[in-house]
Amino acid sequence: MLAALLSTWITTVLNSYQTKFGKGASLSQVEKDPNSPRIQAALSGILVTWFIYRPLYIFTLSLVKLSILTFYRTLVPPSPLFRSFRYTVYVLIIFTILHSLSMTAVSIFQCTPVSAAYSVSSSFSQILGQSRFPQPRCYKPNIIWVSNAIINFATDIAIFLLPIPIIASLGSMTFRKRLQLFCVLSIGTLAIAASGVRMWILVLWAKDVRSRNKFGTDLLTWGQVEELL
């Protein structure tokens, strides 16, 4: 849980820099004066911070989910009566780890070479047209980002629903455990809502370069809300 909290703080700091750089290199500014050193420096800052943000967001969200699932393991005794519950927890833990590792690799190696993902000239090829700047060798990750958001939303719901059937059967649960579980489930409803809103914004953001400029701040904001919840 401490690692998840620390990673969330780092993401918050990174988001503040993304917003700062974004004010200095809006789409209209880049189109108007792409040769300005100030605008190019701000655009470079945007690209680098976004490149760092993607794997960090995936890592942070996985830590939050793993913290909750680890807490779930303490809810039930090692009894055959709760074997299916414990197996489900382990399956979700393994899935979360494998999914986060695969998505982290996808976010880092989306271009060849890797540096093309945060190259100013590569960004110019999308904003100003391919004829003026060389087109980078990158796959289009928008479908993957949307799919990742859908998977996150689905696992959020699964993690929220998982302990509900066993709550009634744990009559001997201490008051402290019940309070902890109540807090987790209460926050879980808000996390699911935030995940759903972010998924909707991500679909809007992924349409084209102008949509990414328009909805970038909203995407970061709801991503931060999702992590904090």
What are 175-215's pLDDT values in tens digits?
676 677 777 677 778 888 888 888 888 888 877 777 777 77
Which helix (H) or strand (E) is 189 found in, with range?
Answer: helix 175-205
For residues 151-183, b (16+ Cβ closer than 10 Å) or e, as one string?
ebbebbeebbebbeebeeebeeeeeeeeeebee
Segment 87-105 shows an average pLDDT of 93
Partners of 21 in the β-ladder: none
17-21, 24-28, 65-69, 108-112 — which one is most confidently predicted on average?
A: 65-69
Segment 163-173 shows an average pLDDT of 68
CB-hemisphere CA count at 13 Å for 212?
14
The domain tally of the chain equals: 1
Q: What is the pLDDT, as a whole number, of residue 25?
A: 62
Domain that holds residue 30: 2-228
CB-hemisphere CA count at 13 Å for 206?
16
CB-hemisphere CA count at 13 Å for 141?
18
Choice between 66 and 172, residue whose per-residue pLDDT is larger? 66
Q: What is the pLDDT, as a whole number, of residue 91?
A: 94
Radius of gyration in angstroms for the set of CA atoms belonging to the chain, rounded to a whole number: 21
Mean pLDDT of the chain: 79
**35-88, pLDDT tens digit by residue?**
777 777 777 888 888 888 888 889 988 998 998 898 888 877 777 777 888 899
Rounded distance between C-alpha atoms, residue 62 and residue 101, angstroms: 9
Give 95's pLDDT tier (boundaries 50, 70, 90): very high
Q: Check: pTM over 0.75? Answer yes or no.
A: yes
Choice between 90 and 20, residue whose per-residue pLDDT is larger? 90
Rounded distance between C-alpha atoms, residue 29 and residue 23, angstroms: 10
Q: What is the pLDDT, as a whole number, of residue 163?
A: 82
Q: What is the pLDDT, as a whole number, of residue 216?
A: 77
